[in-house]
Amino acid sequence: MTDNLRGIAAILASASGFVINDAIVKLVTEELPTGEIIVVRGLMATLLIGVVAWWRGAMRPVRVLLQTSIMIRIFAASLASLFIVAALRYIPLATSTAILQVTPLAVTAGSALLLGAAVGWRRWTASLAGLAGVLLIIRPGAEGINAHVWIALAALLFTSIRDLTTRFIDPSVPSLYVAFASSVLIMLGGLPLLPVETWVVPSPKALILLALASTAVFFGYYLGIVAMRIGEIAVVAPFRYSTILLALLLGYLLWGFVPDTISLTGIAIVIGSGLYLLRRERAVLVRRRSPA
């Protein structure tokens, strides 16, 4: 099996891990408040990631975290997780998943606006098309679930900031250590909600589900790192969009949710825009590799 095939297998497993985590968290929101879910799941995930990071020799002194890029990254990850869990309480799994798939498009736009990266008109068009797709999904001013979609949009914002700052982290800092530090802050991020929520003793079922969710999150992060390191990004990355199909299936099986035609059109536009953007990145990469 080639490196690219292994990378594709890893990204498919990683993407599945994140969607399974989201589906489990959405189930648990029927019993536990948002902050408690974040704390309990975060504690389990932190212990798991910490053990693996220690075993792999990835732990580093705390002062390493004082780098500006790492600090912004872990704070953004904490807020992104908070808003994602909150969004899952109110909106369908497929809707939140589709909105978060705009992250690569938002990162492209952000890199141009904030970092001065060269972004051609084709990539700008893809990013704007992805935004149009999101507007079709959420339909501002429509009735029902869309009143809470702003929470998912906040999650998109902080997820994009997280991914933008990740590019500036010193390569000598192990990814597992960054994941461990992020997990700690994500866990602590649920505590400020304690005064405004009514926390309860989790049932055995909820604890088992959250243990499964923390395991799914760990494999999602770890296999995502593996995929990006062993395969070509332009080849591997498009397969992350399989998460929308899995989210649609789980949403139907667990809650009987089927998006309407307009929402499905928006989802298709988001997927198409992302795939076109990745195709452009691959074309640029090929040109750079070609002899002058």
Count of structural domains, the chain: 1
DSSP 210-276: HHHHHHHHHHHHHHHHHHHHHS-HHHHGGGGGHHHHHHHHHHHHHH-----HHHHHHHHHHHHHHHH
Instruction: Give the range among 38-42, 120-124, 235-239, 274-278 with minimum mean pLDDT.
Output: 235-239
More confident residue, 109 or 71: 71
The whole-model pTM stands at 0.81
Sequence-distant (6+) residues with CB within 8 A of 9 are 1
Distance CA 127, CA 144 (A): 27
Q: Between vectors from CA 268 to CA 8 and to CA 24, what angle results, nearest 5°?
A: 65
Exposed (0-12), middle (13-18) or buried (19+): which is 156, by Cβ within 10 Å? buried
Q: Structural domain of residue 40, as residue ranges?
A: 3-289
- pLDDT tens digits, 243-259: 888 888 999 999 998 88
* Residue carrying structure tokens 């000598």: 172
